[in-house]
Amino acid sequence: MENPQRSVRTLAVDVGGSGIKVMVLDEKGTPLTERARQETPRPAKPAPILKVISELAATQGEFDRVSVGFPGVVHDGVTHTAPNLDPDWEGFPLAEELSKMLGKPVRVANDADVQGYGAISGQGLELVLTLGTGLGSALFINGRLVPNLELAHHPFRKGETYEEQVGRAALDRIGKAKWNRRVRRMIDLLQRTINYHTLYIGGGNAKKLVGDLPANVKIVSNEAGLLGGIALWRE
């Protein structure tokens, strides 16, 4: 029987270029379930990804609403880009389709924005970068998101973008030592251009950073990509 005392449960979903992850959070954003993960299906088109999300959701027990972190530009629940998934995501009403499928209200945001909500302190100018298949970026001023910062596709060096220089493909190609040097160059350049107070680095490859980093750079757990999902329901 339904417990009237039980708090609202949010199914947090993180759609990544290599894996799709889910977990249920309570009203405060504390995990209530073990994280479940499946490989991202290829080709990473909307229908097979929706199917994986519904399979993963079925392993998580009860939930009342859904938050999704998506690896591309999202406006009002509609996805506009997904450079590391598939061109079919352009103009796809993800929130609406997923809501029909799961029978619950759904909110969708960019994956780095969600990661940021799970990591920032809410003070000053805070930049969030995610090192995964792609390069995610999100900027916050006193806890408020500056929308749609997409550093990934901006030129960085040697005719290549940030994502081409530090994304997963580059890491696999050039190895950890060289990739570490590149990430440090990126940090140095962004510090001088954005002048953030704090930089948070998350994503699956953050653990591959070795050695010292500037004092205002913090590595955050990849789980923040799910924990931040609670913030999408704050207002």
Q: Which residues bind ligand BGC (CB under 6 A)?
A: 71-73, 81, 83-84, 110-112, 130, 132, 134-136, 150, 152, 163
Residue 44 or 57 with smaller CB distance to ligand BGC: 44
Q: Where are the alpha helices (DSSP H) in the chain?
A: 46-57, 94-102, 111-117, 162-166, 168-174, 176-194, 224-227
Question: Which residue is closest to ligand BGC by CB?
Answer: 134
Cβ 85 to ligand BGC shortest distance, Å: 9
Cβ 88 to ligand BGC shortest distance, Å: 16
Residue 63 or 200 with smaller CB distance to ligand BGC: 200
Cβ 109 to ligand BGC shortest distance, Å: 10
- Residue 151 and residue 155: Cα distance in Å, rounded? 9
Residue 110 or 198 with smaller CB distance to ligand BGC: 110
Cβ 28 to ligand BGC shortest distance, Å: 26
- Residue 64 and residue 68: Cα distance in Å, rounded? 14
Residue 83 or 118 with smaller CB distance to ligand BGC: 83
Cβ 124 to ligand BGC shortest distance, Å: 22
Cβ 48 to ligand BGC shortest distance, Å: 18
Q: DSSP characters for 200-235?
A: EEESTTGGG--S---TTEEE--TTHHHHGGGGGG--
Angle at which helix 94-102 crosses helix 46-57, to 10 degrees, equals: 40
Q: For residues 81 and 72, is the Cβ–Cβ distance under 8 A?
A: yes
Residue 63 or 163 with smaller CB distance to ligand BGC: 163
Residue 9 or 232 with smaller CB distance to ligand BGC: 232
Angle at 130 between CA 79 and CA 51, to 5 degrees: 40
Laid out side by side, the sheet with 36-39 consists of 36-39, 19-25, 10-15, 65-70, 106-110
Q: For residues 32 and 9, is the Cβ–Cβ distance under 8 A?
A: yes
- Beta-carbon count within 10 A of 31 CB: 14
